[in-house]
Structure 1
């Protein structure tokens, strides 16, 4: 383990990432399925983004939100997984202090952005089912871009204080992060000063973002189901319910690990640490892997263009 010199009396020049505490001996092998999930996420989201960008007929709100989701997943997973794999495979545990703060910023900003995009997609589904003839007027392309900009701005403004507050904490030589990446509370726990501001702000911002988004999503899907049940055709009802079920699976894959990780850090200290970190790692891998698969397979327009991309006519 290399010696780490402090750049200031309060800030270490670098931190050391443990990886998965308690599973250091096996994390080399754990990295293989993680790597496979990361590759699937990268390939899937790049293909979805490319198809939506290059196909003018897909420049509609639903597909633009899907492209935003794909780009968000690419940033979220790429900001953490390559370093995580280097810890697991190469024992490259060192991460610079400012690089750690940057990673923290990207993780929490784009987690917030993903939550906001999922909320926007739920609203889009509601408008499309409830007001199909007015959908293009209610959610126009400029409005869709505005919603995306607001979601990104919200993430940046809410998360920036995390990095600022953390950069002002004294660490007094504590450098070993019991995590696979620079998650906010994992870093804050190393501080030897008063961390009340970090803890309170983290709680408030998380409940504001997740609470608001989950509330809007829940109301949207409740109204969607109410509308679907009034459809005269049984086939139409089953198709709409099937679509809602696939979207719900995406929401559960994102929010359940996120809430588990968030609450475990603060309240459920009896949960084994390696379980907590494994769930936190999967939180950055499973949703980015599932999103292009679920939305790509279930969306006929994207599925047809993927087939044409890999099976062009005349070949």
Structure 2
């Protein structure tokens, strides 16, 4: 298949929050990208950059302030109640915190089975067998179906969250920082499980994280967000080997190298200054206040995301000079 099939197209997506009488927090401000069927798109950036809000707006958990999210040819924010239910059957989310995303009063079997019941997929013995199958698929035992969430570790709870997301056999899953609350040893297990499930079920992922090493491991293409804007977008290999935006370069320089000798040779690029407030942001590049290359143009005119090389997009006025 030479021509990749687009599953999701995000066009000029905006999500603003009113935080005062005259103040607007621009969490996501004009973000655009496509996700192809069967691929993993990584979304990275420091805390507060808007990546989780972007993921939740793509899922329809937040109403968009502006722009479009087109899923398989249909704009999701204009769907009626019945159509929205059909969309949620095809698209699911794995939440960041495995401790607060599971209902403590429900057994694991009921948590996983809730989606099955809502969409009336299976009943009786068939439903029970499906729950057992899902538990075993994510590396748990069928006996766990009768237990409650507090009886499990963080890694096990995240596996339950993955089983719940898979219960209604979706095509697309938003993975909202699914490993950030877990121990390092468990993180790799969960990421490898997601990769394995993707191959088995031909899943499409939007993988949101701030762990750059994990994003490289799992993603086909990666978008870098800064303060509500997409500043760089490229294939995973291209972005990690040849970052072009000053912010991306600084992020990549912070990735630790396992070999201590190589780590000593590495030059880190410090980012100085405070992150500007996303509330009523000033015109111009959002990174200008912390960028050593910034000029008056950067402070007055917002750069557009432009293709510098095939498939490699950057939003920077000075990218050709630095």
TM-score by length of 1: 0.22
Which structure dedicates a bigger proportion of its chain to helix? 1
TM-score by length of 2: 0.22
Between 1 and 2, higher relative CO (CA 8 Å, sep ≥ 6) is seen in 1
